[in-house]
A and B are shown apart, each in its own frame.
Chain A
Amino acid sequence: MSLTGLEVVADEVASDAPVVEGRSQWHLTWRRLRHDKVAMVSLIVIGVIIVLAIAAPLFVAITHHPPNTAYPNSGETAAGNPVPPGTAGFWLGTDGTGRDLFIRILYGARISLFVGFVTTAIGTLAGVTVGLIAGYFGGFVDQVLGRFTDAALAFPYVVLALALAVVLGPSLPVIIGVISFFSWAAIARIVRGQTLSIKEKEYIEAARSLGAGPFRIMFIDILPNLLAPVLVLATLYIPTAVVFEATLSYLGLGIQPPTASWGDILADAQNFYQVAWWYVVFPAVALLITTLAFNLLGDGIRDAMDPRTERVLAARRGRGERRRRRARQVLADGGGIGGPGREPYAPSAGGD
Chain B
Amino acid sequence: MVRRILTGIVVVWLVSSGAFFLFFARPVDTVARQLAGRAATPQVINEVIRNLGLNQPIMVQYWHFIDGLLHGDLGFSYYSQEPVDTMLKQDLPPTISLVVGGLILWLVAGLSVGIISATRARSLFDRFSSVAVLIGLSMPVFVIGELLILVVFVPLYQHGFHWIQTGYSGPSQGLGTWSGHMILPWITLAAVQAAVYTRLSRGQLLDTLGEDYIRTARAKGLSERRVIFRHGVRAALTPVVSQLGVDVGQLLGGVIVVEEVFGLGGIGEASVQAIDTDNLPVIIGFVIVAAIFVVLANIIVDLVYALLDPRVRIG
Contact = CB atoms under 8 A, between A and B. Distances in A.
Interface of A: 153-159, 162-163, 165-167, 239, 243, 246-247, 250-253, 263, 266-267, 269-270, 273-274, 277, 280-281, 284, 287-288, 291-292, 295-296, 299, 316-317, 319-320, 322-324, 326-328, 330-331, 334-338, 342-344
Contact of B122 (A295, A334, A344): A344
A322 B89 CA distance: 52
Q: Which 4 A-B pairs have the closest CB atoms?
A: A158-B253, A323-B210, A156-B249, A291-B138
B260 interface: yes
Contact of B261 (A263, A270, A288, A322): A270
Nearest to A164: B22
Nearest to B139: A288
A246 B150 CA distance: 19
B252 A251 contact: no
B275 A166 contact: yes
Nearest to A239: B138
Interface of B: 19, 22-23, 25-26, 119-124, 134-135, 137-143, 146-147, 149-150, 153-154, 158, 203, 206-207, 209-211, 214-215, 218, 224, 246, 248-250, 252-254, 256-257, 260-261, 271-272, 275-276, 278, 283, 286-287, 290, 294
22 contacts: A158-B254, A158-B257, A159-B256, A163-B23, A163-B287, A165-B275, A166-B275, A167-B25, A243-B140, A246-B143, A251-B260, A280-B147, A287-B139, A291-B139, A317-B203, A320-B203, A323-B211, A324-B206, A324-B207, A327-B206, A335-B224, A336-B224
Contacts of A291: 138-140
Contacts of B141: 247
Contacts of A263: 140, 142
Nearest to A269: B146
Contact of A153 (B154, B218, B246, B275): B246
Q: Is the interface of B mostly helix, strand, loop or mixed?
A: helix
A38 to B, nearest CB: 10
A337 B116 CA distance: 10
A266 B252 contact: no
A252 B283 CA distance: 16
B266 to A, nearest CB: 14
Nearest to A275: B154
B302 to A, nearest CB: 14
Given A284-B143, A320-B203, A327-B206, A334 B218 contact: yes
Interface centre among B140, B252, B283 (most CB of A within 10 A): B140
Interface centre among A158, A250, A316 (most CB of B within 10 A): A158
A287 B146 contact: no
Nearest to A284: B143
A292 B283 CA distance: 34
B275 A253 contact: yes
Nearest to B30: A169
A224 B120 CA distance: 39
A302 to B, nearest CB: 13
B213 to A, nearest CB: 13
